[in-house]
Amino acid sequence: MQFDEFAAFEKNGWEHVVQQYEDYFGRLTVQSHPAMLDALEVGPGTRMLDVAAGPGYLAAAAIERGATAAAIDFSASMIAHARQLHPEVEFQIAGAEHLPFDAESFDAVGISFGMLHFPEPERALEEAARVLRQGGRVAFTAWAPPERAVGFGMVLDAVQLHGKLDVGLPPSPPFFRFSDPDECLRVLTEAGFTAARADEVEQTWHLVLPETPLDGLMHGGVRMAALLRAQSKSALAQIEQEVRMRVKAYSQQGAQHAQFGELLVPMPCVLASATKP
Ligand SMILES: C[S@@+](CC[C@H](N)C(=O)[O-])C[C@H]1O[C@@H](n2cnc3c(N)ncnc32)[C@H](O)[C@@H]1O
């Protein structure tokens, strides 16, 4: 596989950020789940699979709509945590590229913020197609480009200004590949799906100063965290200062929030979906 080293790096990373992921991203990625469940046409009786489920929020939301849900993630510690949070979901430890399910066993497959982490996203879509019944729906989300997902934008700009982007991380697929709706449509169509569409969905990162998006990216994920941890101490201090300055534009001026330093940072995503013919 082209990205073997990256695959091992991601797997090891996700084993160690379970609680931090939930703390920083737990209330963010769920904001696009209603739109994803709509795109998947999840309702009473739907059999849904949540791929790269993390703490299992999407599967749990599907069950709230009257569906039944299975969920996989390759991180054993993520799955252990998810099982505690959502005992109603059937969790398994598995890779998105080798789903432990029979062909045509689901009506819907959702991949919420997983595709950008996969070494072989095309293979994951092939697997989604295999386990879907005819007429079944697939959907995935990925962050919008950093100009609009400004939590990423301000941190990456700050790294570019004061630090280094090339820090010797394992070669990986581009982080923002699926921020391009055309690329989403292309990859879905190439995987044999029809009626593909891709739309941006609004999400807002609620943070409270002194925490900024830098803290979220440095502690709550894997690839961006490694990029930030690889900066020199002095560069990181400058990056921190730069982000602290930029984040002011997103602080809430209302009297109610000002004293708490509440930030509302736009973090939209692209939601792509299609049908198995
Ligand atoms: C950004 S989190 C998304 C979690 C959740 N779906 C959400 O929307 O918040 C990415 C998740 O993908 C999992 N993951 C990454 N690569 C994977 C792969 N190749 N196969 C299965 N899970 C993977 C990680 O362990 C992590 O839990």
pLDDT the model gives residue 16: 95
CA 257 – ligand 1 centroid, Å = 33
Residue 6 CA to ligand 1 center (angstroms) comes to: 14
Q: How far apart are CA 143 and CA 200, in angstroms?
A: 9
Q: Which atom of ligand 1 is nearest to the CA of 14?
A: 25
Please give the number of the atom of ligand 1 that sits closest to the Cα of 120: 19
User: So what's the pLDDT on residue 255?
Assistant: 47
Per 3-state DSSP, what percentage of the chain is helix, strand, and coil (rounded to 5)?
A: 45, 20, 35
Distance, in Å, from the CA atom of 13 to the CA atom of 75, rounded to the nearest integer, reads 9
Say how many Å lie between the CA of residue 220 and the centre of ligand 1: 12
Determine the longest span between alpha carbons in the chain, in angstroms: 56
How high is the pLDDT of residue 2? 80
* Nearest alpha carbon, ligand 1 atom 8: 112
Burial of 100 (0-12, 13-18, 19+ CB in 10 A): exposed
Question: What pLDDT does residue 247 have?
Answer: 94
266 φ, ψ to 5°?
-65, 130
pTM (predicted TM-score): 0.96
- Please count the residues of the chain: 277
Query: Residue 203 in contact with residue 32, Cβ under 8 Å?
Result: yes
Pocket of ligand 1, beta carbon within 6 A? 10, 14, 25, 29, 52-54, 57-58, 73-75, 78, 95-96, 112-114, 117-118
52 C-alpha to center of ligand 1: Å? 4
* Residue-by-residue pLDDT tens, the chain, 277 positions: 689 999 999 999 999 999 999 999 999 999 999 999 999 999 999 999 999 999 999 999 999 999 999 999 999 999 999 999 999 999 999 999 999 999 999 999 999 999 999 999 999 999 999 999 999 999 999 999 999 999 999 999 999 999 999 999 999 999 999 999 999 999 999 999 999 999 999 999 999 999 999 999 999 999 999 999 999 999 999 999 999 999 999 987 654 555 568 999 999 999 999 999 9
Eight-class DSSP state of 152: H
Distance 238 CA to ligand 1 centre (A): 31
Best probe residue, ligand 1, of 27, 113, 175, 203 (max atoms within 8 Å of C-beta): 113
pLDDT at 258: 52
Residue 94 alpha carbon, nearest atom of ligand 1: 21
Q: If you ran DSSP here, which 8-state letter would residue 263 be given?
A: E
Overall domain count for the chain: 1
Token representation of residue 152: 């990423």
User: What distance in angstroms lies between residue 258's CA and the mean position of ligand 1's atoms?
Assistant: 35
172-189 residue pLDDT tens:
999 999 999 999 999 999
Distances (CA, A) of 261 to 87, 190, 206, 252, 268: 36, 46, 11, 7, 22
Residue 261: what pLDDT?
A: 86
Ligand 1 mean position to 64 CA, how many Å? Answer: 21
CATH at 14: 3.40.50.150
Structure tokens that stand for 206 in this block = 């609620």
Reported as a single tens digit per residue, the pLDDT across 156-172 is 999 999 999 999 999 99
Could you report how far apart the first and last alpha carbons of the chain are, in Å?
29
The distance of Cα 15 from the centroid of its chain, to the nearest Å, equals 16
Q: Do 66 and 86 form a contact (C-beta atoms < 8 A)? A: no
Atom of ligand 1 nearest to the CA of 15: 25
Query: How far, in Å, CA of 121 to CA of 106, rounded?
Result: 19
Task: State which residues form the domain around 121.
Answer: 4-275
